[in-house]
Amino acid sequence: MPTTPSSADRPGAAREGTDAPGAPETPGAPDRNTPLLGRRAARIDRLAELMGEREQGGHGAGIWRTALARLRRSPMAITGAAIVAVFLVVALFSPLLAPYSPTAQTWGAEVFPNRNVFVGPRAENWLGLDNLGRDQFSRMVIGARQTLLVGVVATLVGFGLGAVLGGAAGAAAVLGGRWGRQVDNAVMRVIDMMLALPTLLLAVTIAALIGPSLTTVMIAVGVAQIPIFARLLRGAMLSQGGRDYVLAARALGVRRHRIALTHILPNSLGPVIVQSTLTLATAIIDAAALSYLGLGNPDPAFPEWGTMLADAQRFLSSAPQLAVYPALAIIVTALGFTLLGEAMREALDPKLRR
């Protein structure tokens, strides 16, 4: 890119990057550094930078406390948190909650998919039977655990690798001098390229590489989230890098890796944590899409909502309930995480509140 590293990537550049043409803080003004990715990148940078700003007021803990107080009053946050809480309880205690085995074809003699004979809800099977005569309610409950596993592992993969890349780039840019800015530049070029591909396509590519399994889905969905986390953490670290406390630490002769790890990093994690909540929702939806593409878990021993939904499409005309239950579960769960994440972002962003 033509921008020279010295002008664009010095500490605080995250803020400069987003102010391009419009009013100083037009969201989505193109990042001068990467004009092609303006919108998405700028949005990520904006989140990163905002969390930094909020703490400038001088009362570090106060900002988080007021944000929390605001969250408690927000119906969006309460709805989201309630959905997430129910989902977590069901997922964690699923073996206790499921009345039957999710895989035993106990009532196999009552269901004939080829003759359009399905069994709907009844006293012993609350949600009816699936196409192989298994108890749908038990499958849904156990499926919650698998779905949570997919979401959490995928998010951790994205969070972990993205944080390493973004953290290294950010630390290099802030503390590494001229050489560090070049490292940062190189890392961010790769990240921006990954950001340019639709996440689903990235996930399909990775899934095609390692073959269909639940692990594939988790890795693929997680890797697709790397660029977002990397850019977010780097932006946050850049905006922290110019702070007085960093200058003070440097003046005191604290070692650079120590400044990065114990001073800058803890103060930069806020936006990344908010993003994780949103990523959990994306991961669950993307996992369903990958299952539909046949790249998901082929092992019926562990029902997972995405796989259940994808499998049920075959019977959608004759037994729509088989698809509707997992679909509703996915939508409601994703909605819960999204509401919670958006409410958190809103609580921390004064501009969105007004």
Q: Residue 218 or 329: which CB sits closer to other proteins?
A: 329
H helix runs in the chain, sequence order? 5-8, 13-18, 38-54, 60-73, 75-92, 94-97, 136-175, 177-196, 199-210, 214-241, 244-251, 256-258, 265-292, 305-312, 320-348, 350-353
Is 83 a binding residue for other proteins by CB under 8 A? The answer is no
Residues 249-288 interacting with other proteins (rule: CB under 8 A): 281, 285, 288
Give the residue, chosen from 10, 12, 16, 20, that forms a contact with other proteins under the rule CB under 8 A. 20
To which residue do tokens 């962003």 refer?
Answer: 349
Q: Which is nearer to other proteins, 173 or 195 (CB)?
A: 195
Q: Which is nearer to other proteins, 249 or 330 (CB)?
A: 330
Beta bridge partners of 129: 135
What one-letter code names the amino acid at 189? R
Buried-state track 343-353, b at ≥16 Cβ within 10 A, e below 16: bbbbbbbeeee
**Binding of other proteins by 32 (CB under 8 A):** yes
**C-beta closer to other proteins: residue 19 or 106:** 19
Structure tokens at 302: 């562990």
Binding of residue 1 to other proteins (CB under 8 A):
yes
Fill in the DSSP letter of residue 110: G
Q: Which of residues 202-221 bind other proteins (CB under 8 A)?
A: 204-205, 207-209, 211
Q: Tally Cβ neighbours within 10 Å of residue 247.
A: 12
What does the alpha-carbon distance between residue 47 and residue 174 come to, in Å, rounded to a whole number? 19
Q: What amino acid occupies position 95? A: P
Instruction: Tell me which of 289, 319, 340, 348 binds other proteins, using CB under 8 A.
Output: 289
Site for other proteins in 35-54 (CB under 8 A): 35-40
Residue 20 near residue 29, CB atoms below 8 Å: yes
Give 133 or 341: the residue with its C-beta nearer to other proteins: 341
> How many residues sit close enough to other proteins to count as binding (CB under 8 A)?
62
Coil, helix or strand for 129? strand
Task: Select the residue interacting with other proteins from 307, 311, 342, 347 (CB under 8 A).
Answer: 342
Q: Residues in the site for other proteins, rule: CB under 8 A?
A: 1-2, 20-23, 26-30, 32, 35-40, 189-190, 192-194, 196-201, 204-205, 207-209, 211, 281, 285, 288-289, 292-295, 306, 309-310, 313, 316-317, 320, 323, 327, 330-331, 334-335, 338-339, 342, 351-352, 354
